[in-house]
């Protein structure tokens, strides 16, 4: 039924600081690498934003007909993992394995499609060592008593991604003093083993890799020395991605990545998320109260490259907006199964699909794409209200549009879980009603009833948390 226009797709490239037409190296194949988790803790909702938006970009590339090879690394050896293993008196591999499994559990809940490959740093030691050896042979890396550093002065393009200049970095950056380095900007490729830490054998002695070299080695191993897209959070532009470019291009002598995509910061109530401020939320905590589709819709309502201010009220409002879409989907499913009408009302499906495509073609403009879906839903509801005996074909076309856009690309709708979502909304409304009754009881100084509501909710696994402004709840495992 659809005859949508096939327009060129443009992407804002952090490397060139401008929007560019997307031209894969080997069309229709697209090679895409995304910086994944460092598995020392549950990932937070800021990480989730990057993971979800990368997932949407991948989904849209698939929608456009590209064959996407999607790689997301897992950093399973790192200072923070080692520190946690020391704090908990466990082996670092045990810590990494636990939080790797938790990562997979949480991305499944978030409706994120599995990557084609999840390379782990510990499984790519030979690739890492080989790349460091190449840099050393070219005189770009140097060894000091088992510690190997990258000599930033030997790479002319250093700073081209972040826009930073070496002389300004040297004079202005707060860099840890290390007398072994030739230059304070030089960074670690291989770290000499310390007592009690995990290590691997290497030409420079026992040790472990630096963080940056892991991604360079793994991405080149699975996607080639030059590939199409590298994505990650804005906080990774410098030094991580800058150092990846220096390592990969220094070792291989060719452009590392053609398009760099970076995701904006997420703030909580206009403040930077921080455990010390008490505004730190893990993804699994949020998903205990809200469906994944609501969180995905919240992320999609802001452009991926800009900042996003997260508030619980905003997420609750997004959930209510999502209910409109779910209500339409439930109606469509019901009518497809029961309608015996013959009326075929006029409706320009192509118009809305083209609006969606044109929005996504323009640097993955998800706010406009979301607006196109909701405008579509509003118009469908109007047509349904003004017409009788509508035939099944109309409803099938509505479902096809929703499947192409809200389901397949944005992941904000799931026809298979509409009943479960409806039950979830009912559960939430009932709990909120009990919280309201408890507040009224407290105002009337009926503390016995207020405590009874709290205690009996706790008995069934619902923990109330009284805050300064409102009472929230958490479902315990």
Q: What distance in Å separates the CA atoms of residue 228 and residue 57, rounded to the nearest whole number?
A: 13
Counting residues of the chain whose pLDDT is more than 90, the rounded percentage is 81
Q: Could you tell me which residue, 426 or 7, shows the higher pLDDT?
A: 426
Q: Quote the pLDDT of residue 366.
A: 98
If DSSP codes are grouped into helix, strand and coil, which group holds residue 7? coil
Nearest to 60 by CA among 468, 360, 271: 360
If DSSP codes are grouped into helix, strand and coil, which group holds residue 374? helix
Q: Quote the pLDDT of residue 472.
A: 82
Q: Which pLDDT tens digit goes with each residue over 227-273?
A: 999 999 999 999 999 999 999 999 999 999 999 999 999 999 888 88
Residue 173 reports pLDDT greater than 50: no
Q: What is the mean pLDDT of residues 77-85?
A: 95
Q: Quote the pLDDT of residue 176.
A: 55
Running DSSP on this structure, what letter comes out for residue 410?
S
Q: Which pLDDT tens digit goes with each residue over 389-422?
A: 999 999 999 999 999 999 999 999 998 877 555 5
Q: Quote the pLDDT of residue 53.
A: 98
Q: What distance in Å separates the CA atoms of residue 149 and residue 143, rounded to the nearest whole number?
A: 6
277-304 CB burial, b ≥16 within 10 A, e <16 = eeeebbbbebbebbbbbbbbbbbbbbbb
Q: What distance in Å separates the CA atoms of residue 160 and residue 155, rounded to the nearest whole number?
A: 11
Q: What distance in Å separates the CA atoms of residue 146 and residue 136, rounded to the nearest whole number?
A: 13
Q: What distance in Å separates the CA atoms of residue 45 and residue 287, rounded to the nearest whole number?
A: 10
What end-to-end distance do the CA atoms of the chain give, in Å?
Answer: 47
Task: Identify the weakest region by mean pLDDT among 10-14, 251-255, 337-341, 385-389.
Answer: 337-341
Q: What distance in Å separates the CA atoms of residue 38 and residue 83, rounded to the nearest whole number?
A: 13
Strand order in the sheet with 187-192: 141-144, 147-150, 187-192, 207-209
Q: Which pLDDT tens digit goes with each residue over 289-315?
A: 999 999 999 999 999 999 999 999 999
Q: Quote the pLDDT of residue 419.
A: 57
Nearest to 332 by CA among 387, 388, 377: 377
Average model confidence (pLDDT) for the chain? 92
Q: Quote the pLDDT of residue 341.
A: 87
If DSSP codes are grouped into helix, strand and coil, which group holds residue 135? helix
The domain ranges of the chain are 10-272, 311-413, 419-475
Q: Quote the pLDDT of residue 275.
A: 74
Banded pLDDT at 428 (limits 50, 70, 90)? confident
Cα 434-440-444 angle, rounded to 5 deg:
140
Strand 207-209 and strand 227-233: the pairing is unpaired
Q: Which pLDDT tens digit goes with each residue over 351-373?
A: 999 999 999 999 999 999 999 99
CB 149 within 8 A of CB 141: yes
Residue 4 reports pLDDT greater than 70: no
Assign residue 65 a region: left if phi > 0, alpha if psi is -120 to 50, beta otherwise? left
Banded pLDDT at 5 (limits 50, 70, 90)? very low
3-state percent breakdown (helix, strand, coil) of the chain, nearest 5: 50, 15, 35
Q: Quote the pLDDT of residue 166.
A: 81
Q: Quote the pLDDT of residue 423.
A: 56
In 193-226, the DSSP E strands lie at 207-209
Nearest to 393 by CA among 429, 464, 438, 344: 344
Q: What is the DSSP string of 17-84?
A: TEEEE---SBTTEEEEEE---BTTS--BHHHHHHHHHHHHHHHHHHHTT-EEEEEE-BB-S-HHHHHH
Q: What is the mean pLDDT of residues 9-20?
A: 98
In this structure, the chain runs to a length of 477
Q: What distance in Å separates the CA atoms of residue 298 and residue 409, rounded to the nearest whole number?
A: 15
Banded pLDDT at 163 (limits 50, 70, 90)? very high
Q: Quote the pLDDT of residue 7.
A: 54
Report in angstroms the alpha-carbon separations of 450 from 185, 426, 435, 463, 470: 60, 22, 9, 14, 15
CATH architecture of 311-413: Up-down Bundle (1.20)
Q: Quote the pLDDT of residue 220.
A: 98
Q: How far is CA 354 from the centre of its chain?
A: 26
In 276-414, the DSSP E strands lie at 308-310
Q: Quote the pLDDT of residue 425.
A: 60
Q: Quote the pLDDT of residue 174.
A: 46
Q: Which pLDDT tens digit goes with each residue over 269-288?
A: 888 887 777 788 999 999 99
- CATH among 3.40.50.620, 1.20.120.1200, 3.90.550.10, 3.30.70.1150 for 10-272: 3.40.50.620
Q: Quote the pLDDT of residue 421.
A: 52
Give the predicted TM-score (pTM) of the model.
0.86
Residue 424 reports pLDDT greater than 70: no
Q: What is the mean pLDDT of residues 443-453?
A: 91
Q: What is the mean pLDDT of residues 34-42?
A: 97
Q: Quote the pLDDT of residue 2.
A: 44
């Amino acid at each position: 039924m659809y005859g949508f226009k096939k327009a060129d797709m443009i992407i804002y490239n952090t490397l060139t600081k401008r929007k560019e037409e997307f031209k894969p190296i080997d069309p229709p194949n697209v090679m895409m690498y995304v910086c994944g988790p460092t598995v020392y803790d549950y990932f937070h909702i800021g990480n989730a934003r990057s993971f979800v938006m990368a997932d949407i970009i991948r989904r849209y590339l698939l929608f456009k007909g590209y064959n996407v090879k999607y790689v997301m690394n897992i950093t399973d050896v790192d200072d923070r993992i080692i520190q946690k293993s020391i704090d908990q008196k466990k082996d670092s591999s045990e810590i990494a394995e636990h939080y790797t499994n938790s990562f997979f559990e949480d991305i499944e809940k978030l409706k994120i499609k599995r990557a084609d490959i999840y390379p782990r740093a510990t499984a790519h030691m030979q690739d890492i060592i080989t790349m460091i050896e190449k840099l050393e042979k070219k005189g770009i890396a140097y060894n000091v008593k088992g510690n190997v550093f990258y000599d930033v002065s030997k790479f002319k393009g250093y700073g081209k991604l972040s826009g930073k200049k070496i002389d300004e970095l040297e004079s202005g950056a707060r860099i840890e003093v290390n007398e072994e380095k030739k230059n304070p900007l030089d960074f670690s490729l291989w770290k000499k083993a310390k007592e009690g830490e995990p290590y691997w054998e290497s030409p420079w002695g026992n040790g472990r890799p630096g963080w940056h070299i892991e991604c360079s080695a793994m991405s080149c191993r699975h996607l080639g020395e030059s590939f199409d897209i590298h994505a990650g959070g804005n906080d990774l532009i410098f030094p991580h991605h800058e150092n990846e470019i220096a390592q990969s291009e220094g070792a291989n002598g060719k452009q590392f990545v053609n398009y760099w995509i970076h995701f904006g910061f997420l703030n909580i109530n206009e403040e930077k998320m921080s455990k010390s401020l008490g505004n730190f939320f893990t993804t699994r905590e949020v998903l205990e109260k809200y469906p994944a589709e609501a969180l995905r819709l919240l992320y999609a309502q802001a452009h991926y490259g800009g900042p996003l201010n997260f508030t619980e009220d905003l997420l609750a409002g997004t959930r209510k907006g999502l209910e409109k879409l779910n209500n339409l989907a439930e109606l469509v499913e019901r009518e497809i199964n029961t309608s015996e009408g013959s009326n075929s009302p006029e409706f320009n499906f192509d118009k809305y699909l083209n609006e969606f495509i044109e929005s996504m073609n323009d640097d993955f403009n998800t706010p406009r794409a979301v607006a196109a879906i909701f405008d579509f839903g509003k118009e469908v509801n109007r047509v349904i209200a003004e017409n009788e005996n509508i035939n099944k074909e109309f409803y099938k076309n509505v479902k096809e549009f929703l499947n192409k856009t809200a389901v397949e690309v944005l992941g904000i709708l799931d026809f298979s879980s509409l009943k479960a979502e409806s039950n979830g909304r009912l559960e939430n409304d009932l709990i909120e009603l009990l919280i309201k009754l408890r507040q009224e009881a407290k105002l009337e100084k009926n503390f016995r009833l207020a405590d009874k509501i709290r205690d009996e909710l706790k008995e069934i696994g619902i923990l109330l948390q009284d805050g300064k402004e409102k009472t929230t709840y958490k479902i315990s495992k």
